[in-house]
Amino acid sequence: MSDDNTIVRLEEITRTYQMGAVSVSALRGISLVFRAGEYIAIMGPSGCGKSTLLNILGCLDRPSTGRYYLGGLDVSQLKDDELSAIRGARIGFVFQSYNLIQQLSVLENIEVPLYYQGVPEKQSRERARYLAELVGLGERLDHKPNELSGGQQQRVAIARALANDPLIILADEPTGNLDTASGKEILAIFGDLHAQGKTLVLVTHSDEVAERAQRVVRLRDGKIEYDSET
Q: How many CB atoms lie within 10 A of CB 225?
A: 13
Binding site for Mg ion (CB under 5 A): 51
Angle of helix 121-134 relative to helix 150-162, nearest 10 degrees? 130
- Lay out the site mask for other proteins across 86-115 (x = CB under 8 A, - = otherwise): -xxx---x-x---xxxxx--------xx-x
Q: Which one-letter amino acid corresponds to residue 214?
A: Q
Strand order in the sheet with 168-172: 91-94, 168-172, 200-203, 39-43, 215-220, 223-227
Q: Return the ∠ at Cα 60 (arms to 58 and 63), rounded to 5°.
A: 90
* Among the residue ranges 16-24, 62-70, 103-111, 144-152, the one whose residues contact ligand ADP (CB under 6 A): 16-24
Residue nearest to ligand ADP (CB): 51
Of the candidate residues 3, 18, 21, 118, the single one contacting other proteins (CB under 8 A): 118
- Between CA 191 and CA 194 the distance in angstroms is 5
Instruction: For residue 116, state whether it binds other proteins (rule: CB under 8 A).
Output: yes
Could you tell me the smallest distance in angstroms from the CB atom of residue 198 to other proteins?
Answer: 18
Among 8, 39, 40, 49, binds ligand ADP (CB under 6 A): 49
Q: Report the nearest approach of other proteins to the CB of residue 60 (Å).
A: 5
Half-sphere exposure (Cβ direction) of 55: Cα atoms closer than 13 Å: 13
Q: Is 9 in the site for other proteins (CB under 8 A)?
A: no
52 lines the binding site for ligand ADP (CB under 6 A): yes
Binding string to other proteins for residues 144 to 173, with x set by CB under 8 A, is what?
Answer: ----------------x---x---------
Between residues 17 and 226, which has the closer beta carbon with respect to other proteins? 17
Enter the DSSP assignment of 146.
Answer: G
Distance in Å from the first CA to the final CA of the chain: 17
Give the integer Cα–Cα distance in Å for 209 and 8.
22
Q: Are 220 and 166 in contact (CB under 8 A)?
A: no
- Interface residues with ligand ADP (CB under 6 A)? 17, 19, 24, 26, 46-52
- Interface residues with other proteins (CB under 8 A)? 55, 58, 60-61, 80-81, 84-85, 87-89, 93, 95, 99-103, 112-113, 115-118, 120-121, 160, 164
